[in-house]
């Protein structure tokens, strides 16, 4: 009888657990996003309050966008990730592959239209312009003029001092795209871009570096003095006191939208929706702007704050270019293979 009573108690507990709200049963929320300042800022400023409010532990998986997409593909049918934060181009691929669920309860009234995705399958959480990072101290000491054009990356004086992320990073892909556009091609004719990269840019490249941490280390050690990077990354680096500045090329700065989606699975974690709604809220967007230099997606954030002096807002927004992601994603795999074979050897 004692054993039967024990079984009855266990069964009752099981029934009670089943009756609890789904949110109460969720003990872990796994967020996959960028490394570097994103990692440190979210862990320190965003996650603790969220964990306390919802009684959940947030696990963070750092990696670039293509790494995160690869994880989603590898875990298909048994997804571990609950919230994926990726560059918009990769996010479009993730949506097309069925990895994103609609965001439930997203209030779009405070969000810029450019932040929205079809059917609320994702939403942008930050805006970044793509251009040049330079070591202002070195440029001043050497008497070098400030670069104003993508073509300035060809200058022989930058030999083995230029750093560009690889093509599986959006900044590297944008570099290839811009040289294609400037030489008679574009997203639907990338050949001119490859020609310039191989003949004119490669001799100046120290390394094609994907890691934000290693990018800053190369500048701190004096090995690199110019790079292709994003406004948010450069602003965050400048916030540490290192003498860097961001330059908008006159031909244009392709926009990058860091975007978030709830990962589609048999039972979507309800807290995934809550996390994304928190990320686009005015208080969190303000904090990300101040600490990370991210252009906000929430209209209630003051875009005139000094921490956004590099961000693609105000007059600088006129230099922003919107890529044709349908054309890019149709050929991206082929471009990547070719880049690895012909450019980054």
Distance CA 217, CA 159 (A): 18
Assess whether pLDDT exceeds 90 at residue 2: no
Distances (CA, A) of 324 to 89, 262, 332: 9, 24, 12
The CATH number that domain 2-127+257-309 falls under is 3.40.190.10
Tokens for 224, please give them. Answer: 């690199």
Q: What percentage of the chain exceeds 70 in pLDDT?
A: 92
User: What global pTM score does this model have?
Assistant: 0.85
Assess whether pLDDT exceeds 90 at residue 25: no
Assess whether pLDDT exceeds 50 at residue 300: yes
Average pLDDT, the chain: 92
Distance CA 176, CA 186 (A): 9
Nearest to 91 by CA among 297, 261, 328: 261
Q: How many CA atoms lie within 13 A of 1 on its CB side?
A: 0
Q: What percentage of the chain exceeds 90 in pLDDT?
A: 91
The residue with greater pLDDT, 70 or 8, is 70
Res. 314 pLDDT band, cuts 50 70 90: confident
The CATH 3.40.190.10 domain(s) of the chain lie at 2-127+257-309, 128-255+322-343
Q: In the 3-class helix/strand/coil scheme, how is the chain assigned residue by residue?
A: CHHHHHHHHHHHHHHHHHHCCHHHHCCEEEEEECCCHHHHHHHHHHHHHHHHHHCCEEEEEECCHHHHHHHHHHCCCCCCCCEEEEEHHHHHHHHHCCCECCCCCCCCCCECHHHECHHHCCEEEEEEEEEEEEEHHHHHHHCCCCCCCHHHHHCHHHCCCEEECCCCCHHHHHHHHHHHHCCCCECCECHHHHHHHHHHHHHHEEEECCCHHHHHHHHHCCCCCEEEEEHHHHHHHHCCCCCEEEECCCCCEEEEEEEEEEECCCCCCHHHHHHHHHHCCHHHHHHHHHHHCCECCECCCCCCCHHHCCCCCHHHHHHEECCCHHHHHHHHHHHHHHHHHHHCC
Distance CA 172, CA 160 (A): 17
Read off the pLDDT of residues 197-248 as tens digits, 9 standing for 90 and up: 999 999 999 999 999 999 999 999 999 999 999 999 999 999 999 999 999 9
Distance CA 321, CA 25 (A): 44
pLDDT at site 189? 98
Distance CA 310, CA 117 (A): 25
Assess whether pLDDT exceeds 80 at residue 16: no
Assess whether pLDDT exceeds 70 at residue 1: no
Distance CA 104, CA 202 (A): 46
How far out from the chain centre does Cα 337 lie? 22
Average pLDDT on 81-105 reads 97
pLDDT at site 345? 75
Assess whether pLDDT exceeds 50 at residue 24: no
pLDDT at site 3? 38
The answer to whether domain 128-255+322-343 has CATH 1.10.10.60 is no
Read off the pLDDT of residues 103-155 as tens digits, 9 standing for 90 and up: 999 999 999 999 999 999 999 999 999 999 999 999 999 999 999 999 999 99
pLDDT at site 302? 94
Read off the pLDDT of residues 27-81 as tens digits, 9 standing for 90 and up: 899 999 999 999 999 999 999 999 999 999 999 999 999 999 999 999 998 999 9
pLDDT at site 182? 98
How far out from the chain centre does Cα 275 lie? 17
pLDDT at site 14? 41
pLDDT at site 254? 97
Cα–Cα–Cα angle for 184, 186, 191, rounded to 5 degrees:
75
């Amino acid at each position: 009888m004692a054993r039967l009573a024990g079984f009855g108690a266990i069964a009752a507990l099981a029934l009670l657990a089943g009756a609890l709200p789904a949110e109460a049963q969720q003990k872990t929320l796994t967020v996959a996003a960028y490394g570097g300042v994103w990692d440190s800022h979210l862990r320190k400023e965003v996650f603790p309050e969220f964990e306390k409010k919802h009684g959940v532990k947030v696990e963070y998986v750092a990696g670039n966008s293509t790494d995160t997409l690869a994880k989603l593909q590898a875990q298909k049918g048994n997804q571990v990730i609950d919230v994926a934060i990726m560059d918009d181009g990769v996010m479009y691929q993730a949506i097309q592959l069925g990895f994103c669920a609609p965001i439930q309860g997203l209030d779009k009234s405070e969000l810029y239209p450019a932040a929205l995705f079809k059917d609320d399958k994702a939403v942008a959480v930050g805006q970044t312009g793509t251009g040049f990072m330079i070591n202002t101290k070195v440029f001043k000491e050497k008497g070098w003029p400030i670069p104003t054009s993508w073509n300035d990356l060809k200058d022989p004086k930058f030999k083995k001092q230029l750093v560009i992320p690889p093509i599986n990073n959006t900044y590297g892909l944008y570099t290839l795209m811009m040289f294609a556009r400037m030489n008679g091609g574009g997203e639907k004719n990338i050949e001119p871009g490859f020609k310039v990269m191989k003949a004119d840019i490669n001799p100046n490249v120290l390394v094609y570096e994907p890691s934000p941490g290693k990018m800053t280390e190369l500048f701190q050690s004096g090995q690199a003095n110019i790079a292709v990077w994003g406004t948010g990354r450069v602003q965050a680096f400048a916030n540490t006191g290192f003498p860097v500045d961001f330059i908008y090329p006159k031909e244009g700065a392709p926009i990058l939208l860091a975007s978030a989606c709830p990962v589609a699975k048999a039972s979507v974690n309800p807290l995934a929706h809550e996390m994304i709604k928190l990320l686009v809220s005015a208080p969190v967007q303000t904090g990300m702007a101040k600490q990370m230099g991210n252009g906000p997606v929430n209209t209630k954030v003051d875009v005139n704050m000094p921490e956004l002096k590099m961000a693609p807002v105000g007059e600088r927004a006129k230099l922003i270019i919107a890529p044709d992601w349908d054309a890019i994603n149709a050929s991206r795999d082929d471009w990547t293979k070719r880049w690895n074979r012909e450019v980054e050897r």
